């Protein structure tokens, strides 16, 4: 099965104080069988907020298909993101004092084997009498 290694998240300041540059880098490695078969995977890169009960989905940075290639492939996705998206633990103001809720953000990369599927659709319904009474 394809695997991900050296996954790293960087969040850096940009000129606009209300935005940050989010960069995710990693390698995707494929088996010889996946390469020989020309396997395709759905690749999804998301940012999530690390919380005790459940982790919040913050934003999807990338989503597309990737085809197996020999060896490992370096991947890099970078995007300007609003600080309001990254502010996953809201700050509290009590009597004018700001109590900062520290934000914990991580990147998740998910590779899912692509499986083609068909489609089915239903037309409108025509109501009539098609029997002898019609």
- Phi first, then psi, for residue 35 (nearest 5°) are -65, -45
Task: Give tens-digit pLDDT for 52-67.
Answer: 777 889 999 999 999 9
Domain positions in the chain are 3-113
- Which residues, listed in sequence order, are joined to residue 76 by a DSSP beta bridge? 25
Distance CA 124, CA 103 (A): 50
Q: Tens digits of per-residue pLDDT, 103-131? A: 889 999 999 999 877 788 888 888 876 77
Instruction: Give every CB contact of residue 40 below 8 A, 6+ residues apart in sequence.
Output: 65, 66, 67, 68, 113, 114
Position 101 pLDDT exceeds 70 = no
Hey, what CATH topology would domain 3-113 get? Immunoglobulin-like (2.60.40)
Write out pLDDT tens, residues 30-39.
999 999 999 9
CA distance 21 to 80: 4
């Amino acid at each position: 099965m394809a695997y991900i290694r050296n996954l790293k998240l960087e969040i850096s300041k940009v000129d606009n104080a209300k935005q940050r540059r989010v960069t995710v880098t990693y390698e995707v490695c494929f088996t010889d069988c996946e390469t020989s078969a020309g396997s395709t995977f759905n690749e999804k890169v998301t940012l999530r907020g690390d919380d005790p009960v459940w982790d919040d989905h913050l934003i999807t940075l990338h989503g597309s298909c990737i085809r197996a290639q020999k060896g490992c492939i370096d991947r890099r996705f970078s995007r300007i993101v609003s600080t309001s998206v990254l502010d996953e633990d809201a700050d509290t103001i009590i009597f004018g004092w700001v109590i900062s809720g520290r934000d914990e953000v991580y990147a998740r990369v998910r590779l899912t084997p692509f499986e083609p599927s068909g489609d089915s659709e239903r037309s409108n319904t025509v109501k009539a009498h098609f029997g002898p009474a019609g």
